[in-house]
Amino acid sequence: MSQSVCAQTSPYPMDVEAGKKYAWCACGRSATQPLCDGSHKGTGMNPLIVTADEAGTVYFCGCKQTARPPFCDGTHSRLAPTPPVR
C-alpha cells in the first residue's frame, strides 16, 4: 500500500451543495484536487466519499495528513513546504 502525498500545504476551499456527494482525493495524486480523478488506482488507496449536510464553503485538506478527513484541521501548518503535485 502506498502512502498519501501532500498535494499542497494549505486547504482547498470549495463551495458544496446540500445533499451532493463528493469524492475527496485521499492519495494526493489527483490532478483535480481536492477531488478524486482516479489517480489512486494501483496504490491500494481509495477516495473518501462525503455527502454535504448543507450548502456552503468547506475546507478540504490539501496535505492529506488531517486527523479529520476530508476536512482541514491545520496539520499543514506543521509540515515542511512542498511543491504541489501536478
- Per-residue pLDDT tens for 40-67? 999 999 999 999 999 999 999 999 999 9
Judged by phi (left if over 0) then psi (alpha if -120 to 50, else beta), residue 19 lies in left
Question: Taking the complete model, does pTM exceed 0.75, yes or no?
Answer: yes
- pLDDT at residue number 86: 62
Among 49, 66, 70, 76, CA closest to 58: 70
- pLDDT at residue number 9: 92
- pLDDT at residue number 82: 55
- pLDDT at residue number 57: 98
pLDDT band at residue 2 under the 50/70/90 scheme: confident
